[in-house]
Amino acid sequence: MRFALIIAVLCSLAGVAHAAPADEPHKAYLTLIIDDLGQNLPRDRRVLGLPGPVTAAIMPDTPHAAEFAREAHKAGKIVILHMPMDPATGPFAWHPQLSIEELGKRLDAAFEAVPYTAGINNHMGSRMTAQPQAMAWLMAELQRRHKFFVDSRTSAQTVAAAEAQKIGLAHVSRDVFLDDERTEAAITTQLQTAIKLAHKQGSAVMIGHPYPQTLAVLERELPKLKAQGVEWIDIKLMISVRSNRAMSAHGKNGIYR
């Protein structure tokens, strides 16, 4: 009788252990945007060779904007318009003193210059993204066009993502610039910063440029992401993961400040 009781208890414990769900692994997602594309085809094509869903941010005032947008789209990459904003210059650039009508004309022309765009991010724009009226108009216009927005966060005074959040426009904000310092050592450090941030907050959005040093680091290090517990996802999936919420560096309780 005692032996039978022991067996019953052991079987019961085994059943409980078997039924207990394993802890879910903490998800860590990264997405990568490469800015300033459209200037140099051989260089830019190297970006398309990166081993994952890189987003191609193409400048409208470059000699190969349309051609490279077509190549990137054909290669299955998400194309976005890298929209020049003050202090950027040129025929497409937005400046605070311009009327909404003129901003609209420049945006129309930029979209015409870069086909297959799914969204936009700002090129420079530290002064422009601090303009609430212009940013509110832009977010409403992007919503009308069914485009998303990526705030490059070139200024702590940006209100761009906040205006997007107000109307529920699909958007994300940049977390890490990879290559403000153009050395492989510095870029590698920034990549590791992004990986640690992804583990800490669940996701990280990286922006880099097609510099030889940046591409060398990415070609070497990106294939190692999976072994570090990181999943490289495209920008649309990142927008879904974040659900339009601000990260702690961008706001409080999910709301942009």
Number of domains in the chain: 1
Give the model's confidence band at 26: pLDDT under 50 very low, under 70 low, under 90 confident, else very high. Answer: confident
- What average pLDDT does the segment 48-56 reach? 96
Specify whether the CB–CB gap between 137 and 168 falls below 8 A: no
Mean residue pLDDT across the chain: 92
How far is it, in rounded angstroms, from Cα 232 to Cα 220? 15
- Is residue 11 assigned to a domain? no
Domain with 64 in it: what CATH number? 3.20.20.370
Average pLDDT over residues 172-190: 98
Return the amino acid letter for 54.
V
Per-residue pLDDT reduced to its tens digit, 77-110? 999 999 999 999 999 999 999 999 999 999 999 9
How many CB atoms lie under 10 A from the CB of residue 41?
14
Query: Which of 199, 132, 194, 200 minimizes the C-alpha distance to 164?
Result: 132
Question: Does residue 193 lie in a domain region?
Answer: yes
Q: Could you tell me the pLDDT band of residue 25, with boundaries at 50, 70 and 90?
A: low
How many of the other CB atoms lie within 10 Å of CB of 214? Answer: 20
Asked whether residue 7 is domain-assigned, the answer is no
DSSP 24: P
Confidence of residue 138 (pLDDT cuts 50, 70, 90): very high
Domain that holds residue 82: 28-247
